[in-house]
Amino acid sequence: MKRFLGIMFLCLFLCGNSLAGVSTGYKKGTGPLKVTEHTANVIEYFFSGGKNGVYAKKQKEAWKPGLMAISVDGAFYSFIKHPLRVTQVDNQHYAGMAVGDCKKKSGQECYLFANGYRIVWDNGTNRKKRRLKRKDIRSGKTITLLTELGFFDNKTSSSNSTQKEVEKKETKTKKETEADKDIVKKLKELKELLDSGALSKEEFEKAKKKLLN
């Protein structure tokens, strides 16, 4: 009986962790890491099984976090979902897949960031705190925890967003100014053609109306 229970326990342990790669130590990230706002939102999506955060949506099949890799600049990522039910154990190198896919998309080095509900990227913060609790994830505290652990700076992100908006407005204003100058130039050319007799008054008014519209 004890032997049977032991086998059952081993089977459940292996099946429950086959995709999550609990035992993997492959390319775990170390040192400082600041993720972008987009990546932070994807991390919340990942830990919540797609149920929480900005990108939350109804999932066809329930899943839980498997493995997640993030680029050194915090802007690119790749993750593997862990199905709630695993019927067989395979030997595929899922950590390598996540890191490789992230590297391919970003063109830079990527390292393992999360393994199941644990943040394995060691940035020097408390290891126990880097293991996220499901109740905190469900209550929408993932972004707050990322901030507390030093992986995300909402103020910096907001500042960058504001700067981008300013730059966007400046570019738009510049384009509008250039367009206005171009219209004035063409109106002068039309007036010169009118004065020279190359255009009739009717033709001038028609061309002017078309230009202004």
Residue 157 has what pLDDT?
53
For residue range 124-156, list pLDDT tens digits in order. 999 999 999 999 999 999 999 999 999 998 765
Does residue 89 share a domain with residue 24? yes
C-alpha–C-alpha distance, residues 28 and 120, integer Å: 6
Of the three residues 127, 152, 177, the one that is the final residue of a domain is 152
Position 47 in a domain: yes
Does residue 129 share a domain with residue 49? yes
Strand order in the sheet with 77-83: 77-83, 63-71, 110-115, 118-119
Put simply, whether the predicted model's pTM sits higher than 0.85 gets the answer no
187-to-90, 101, 175, 198, 213 alpha-carbon distances in Å: 73, 55, 18, 14, 13
Position 4 in a domain: no
Does residue 148 share a domain with residue 126? yes
Residue 168 has what pLDDT?
65
Position 132 in a domain: yes
Residue 39 has what pLDDT?
95
Position 177 in a domain: yes
Does residue 119 share a domain with residue 189? no
Does residue 63 share a domain with residue 24? yes
Does residue 106 share a domain with residue 138? yes
DSSP symbols for 31-54:
S-----HHHHHHHHHHHTTTSSST
Residue 89 has what pLDDT?
63
Residue 12 has what pLDDT?
35
Position 130 in a domain: yes
Residue 53 has what pLDDT?
93
- On average, the pLDDT of the chain sits at 81
C-alpha–C-alpha distance, residues 183 and 28, integer Å: 58
Does residue 148 share a domain with residue 193? no
Query: Which amino acid, residue 78?
Result: S
Sign of the C-alpha dihedral computed for residues 41, 47, 48 and 51 taken in this order: positive
For residue range 166-178, list pLDDT tens digits in order. 566 666 666 667 7
Q: 102: domain range? A: 11-152
Residue 192 has what pLDDT?
82
Task: Name the stretches of the chain with pLDDT < 70.
Answer: 1-25, 86-89, 155-176
Residue 72 has what pLDDT?
96
Does residue 165 share a domain with residue 115? no
Position 182 in a domain: yes
Does residue 172 share a domain with residue 147? no
Residue 38 has what pLDDT?
95
Does residue 28 share a domain with residue 115? yes
Position 95 in a domain: yes
Of the three residues 112, 136, 152, the one that is the final residue of a domain is 152
Residue 87 has what pLDDT?
62
For residue range 176-185, list pLDDT tens digits in order. 677 777 787 8
C-alpha–C-alpha distance, residues 21 and 127, integer Å: 18
Residue 171 has what pLDDT?
66
The number of folded domains in the chain is 2
C-alpha–C-alpha distance, residues 52 and 67, integer Å: 18
Position 44 in a domain: yes
Does residue 126 share a domain with residue 44? yes
Does residue 180 share a domain with residue 137? no
3-state SS, residue 210: helix
